[in-house]
Copies of this chain bind each other. A is one copy, B any other.
Amino acid sequence: MGTSFLGRFDYSIDAKGRVNIPAKFRKGLNPEAEETFVICRAPSSCLRAYPMDKWKNRQLELDTLAETPDGLKIKRQTYGTLSESTLDAQGRVSLTQVQMKLAEITKEVTLVGEGDYVEIWDTEKFNKYIGLEPEEDGFDDAHFNIVKSEMEKK
């Protein structure tokens, strides 16, 4: 099975593009994942790291996409930023230049466990996105929009 990834962790990326994976996540890894993550692009120009076993499902989804302009683009945008990375002896994965450029990662990195996968963000960018600065982030708007649309369904 493997446990699900939960929690936020802040690390730094070194000159070789290596980022630490939280010990907690490493311990929860499925043996079938073979210590390997698939890292690719996700919405809002961030990265997602799937342990190998979980990635399989995601790939199945991608492969069923029709070869429409949108379908092709999504596939290429995903595969075109993708890499496989196996944990080194210290429990790190490494990012490619392309991935770092896309996610605007420079030095500080934030990992967010979201169940089956881990998102990798530039720390500053992520803080802005979630609106660590109170009252500026649209959290309330998004929340109330959803509540509202739920109510309209009924």
Chain A residues engaging chain B, CB cutoff 8 angstroms = 4, 6-8, 10, 24, 38, 41, 43-45, 59, 63, 65, 67, 70-77, 79-84, 96, 98, 101-104, 110, 112-115, 119, 126, 129-132, 134-135, 137-140, 142-146
Q: Besides A80-B126, A104-B134, 14 other CB < 8 A contacts? A: A4-B59, A6-B84, A8-B80, A43-B144, A65-B146, A74-B139, A74-B143, A76-B112, A76-B114, A76-B126, A76-B129, A77-B130, A80-B112, A102-B134
Residue of B nearest to A98 (CB): B8
- Are the C-beta atoms of A79 and B114 separated by less than 8 Å? yes
- Are the C-beta atoms of A43 and B63 separated by less than 8 Å? no
> Which B residues are in CB contact (< 8 Å) with A139?
41, 43, 45, 73-74, 77
